[in-house]
Amino acid sequence: MANNDSSKPIVDFAAIKENLGSEYKMVQVLDGSAKVVNQEVFDSFSDEQLVDFMKKMVWERALHEQTMSFSRQGRLGFYAPTAGEEASEMGSVSAFEPQDFLFPAYRDLPQLIQHGGSVEKGFLWSRGHVKGNQYDPKYRAWMPQIIIGAQFVEAAGAALGIKKNGENNVAFVYTGDGGTSQGDTYEGLNFAGAFQAPLVAIIQNNGFAISVPRKKQTAATTLAQKAVAAGTPSVQVDGMDILAVYSVAKAAREYAAAGNGPVLIETLTYRYGAHSSAGDDPSRYRTKEEEKPWHDNDPLIRLRKVLEDKGLWSDQQESDYVDECKTQFKADLKAADAEPKQTNVEMLKNTFEVPTPNIKAQIAEFEAKESK
């Protein structure tokens, strides 16, 4: 049968495509010039809270600087730089309760530490030391995941466990923009949606998956809309505005903890440095002109302006606090240095609760070698 070319198509795919994701409007409390754009939410913060947010971001920036310096001295293993992502990381983690279960990725050590971990353990993790993955069982967090997306499947399982235990808590999980292209991310989200489990998924869209820019990663207009297929509400938030990130994460936590199922948050942020301390060169995949607006939008500058206007913060206070943090990080590295070197026996024993015959043989072999 011949088509009548002049008639309108039964479906206007072009119009549908044009509108995909158009309902997402980036949430802000402070705009790029630190102007309050949501007075009601801004007024809900006490002076103490504002100073606490500033201190957390200054702490994270100092941790970044110190770990980059340790890395250049060959004193750490793998470390993922975090400068630029302080509002996204500190704003989100501050919205959760100690009893919430955290599933971080490798760029989320600062959240892991803030959620009750320690800098020393973070350094041991960076060195691949098994002690970096061993936490007090009452501390509710999983080790930072290197396998992109895998933490979403784990977090969905934990969220279902939380629901089955009848707790009013949530599991919260992080991945990057690149992570949303990985099957596991969707599978975890879909599972949590199907079981209406209390999962808060945070996509830190920092513009790049190593050298692959966000635009080449997916044709989706926003990453937030990827939740829609899993029947999950989602939001895009200014990831350089800590007040917006915190407020959105807090609302997401409350919604999920109340038994309404999962939520997804996309934070729009930027990675200033290289992908990792292994030293890839960002100038090979982006220009200084592209980077500049993000530096102008720096999360610390934005909150600092607000605090200085209120007389709550000064350069002196900041530099004293940076010194205090860096002194502590140096002590934390010393403590990590004092940890006895990991043996193969320890690593093998840590692999399976009940070792296989093969692993048993290897344990015996290394016990003989390493006891010498």
Ligand X SMILES: Cc1ncc(C[n+]2csc(CCOP(=O)(O)OP(=O)(O)O)c2C)c(N)n1
Instruction: Indicate which single residue of 66, 67, 206, 222 sits in contact with Mg ion (rule: CB under 5 A).
Output: 206
Residue 239 binds to ligand X (criterion: CB under 6 A): no
Closer of 81 and 198 to ligand X (Cβ): 81
Report the residue closest to ligand X, judged by CB: 176
Closer of 115 and 271 to ligand X (Cβ): 271
61 among known catalytic residues: no
Closer of 114 and 182 to ligand X (Cβ): 182
Closer of 89 and 177 to Mg ion (Cβ): 177
275 among known catalytic residues: yes
Stretch that binds ligand X, among 38-46, 70-78, 131-139, 141-149 (CB under 6 A): 141-149
The entry of ligand X, Mg ion, none near residue 235 (CB within 5 to 8 angstroms by kind) is: none
Instruction: Compute the distance between CA of residue 181 and CA of residue 346 in angstroms, rounded to an integer.
Output: 35
Q: Which residue in this structure is represented by tokens 């942020």?
A: 269
Instruction: Compute the distance between CA of residue 235 and CA of residue 93 in angstroms, rounded to an integer.
Output: 17
129 among known catalytic residues: no
Instruction: Compute the distance between CA of residue 126 and CA of residue 67 in angstroms, rounded to an integer.
Output: 10
Closer of 148 and 159 to ligand X (Cβ): 148
Residue 176 binds to Mg ion (criterion: CB under 5 A): yes
Instruction: Indicate which single residue of 81, 179, 261, 282 sits in contact with ligand X (rule: CB under 6 A).
Output: 179
Residue 112 binds to ligand X (criterion: CB under 6 A): no
Stretch that binds ligand X, among 35-43, 90-98, 158-166, 174-182 (CB under 6 A): 174-182
Instruction: Indicate which single residue of 206, 225, 234, 247 sits in contact with ligand X (rule: CB under 6 A).
Output: 206
Instruction: Indicate which single residue of 100, 120, 177, 184 sits in contact with Mg ion (rule: CB under 5 A).
Output: 177
Residue 148 binds to ligand X (criterion: CB under 6 A): yes
Identified catalytic residue from 214, 271, 302, 304? 271
The entry of ligand X, Mg ion, none near residue 179 (CB within 5 to 8 angstroms by kind) is: ligand X
Name the minimum Å distance from CB 350 to ligand X. Answer: 21
Instruction: Indicate which single residue of 67, 88, 151, 175 sits in contact with ligand X (rule: CB under 6 A).
Output: 175
Instruction: Indicate which single residue of 210, 278, 331, 361 sits in contact with ligand X (rule: CB under 6 A).
Output: 210
List of long-range contacts for 64-67, beta carbons under 8 Å, 24+ apart: 64/273, 65/326, 66/325, 66/326, 66/329, 66/330, 67/126, 67/277, 67/329
Q: What is the dihedral of CA 215, 217, 219, 224, to 10 degrees?
A: -90
Residue 147 binds to ligand X (criterion: CB under 6 A): yes
Q: Could you list the active site residues?
A: 271, 275, 285
The contact set with Mg ion (CB under 5 A) reads: 176-177, 206, 209
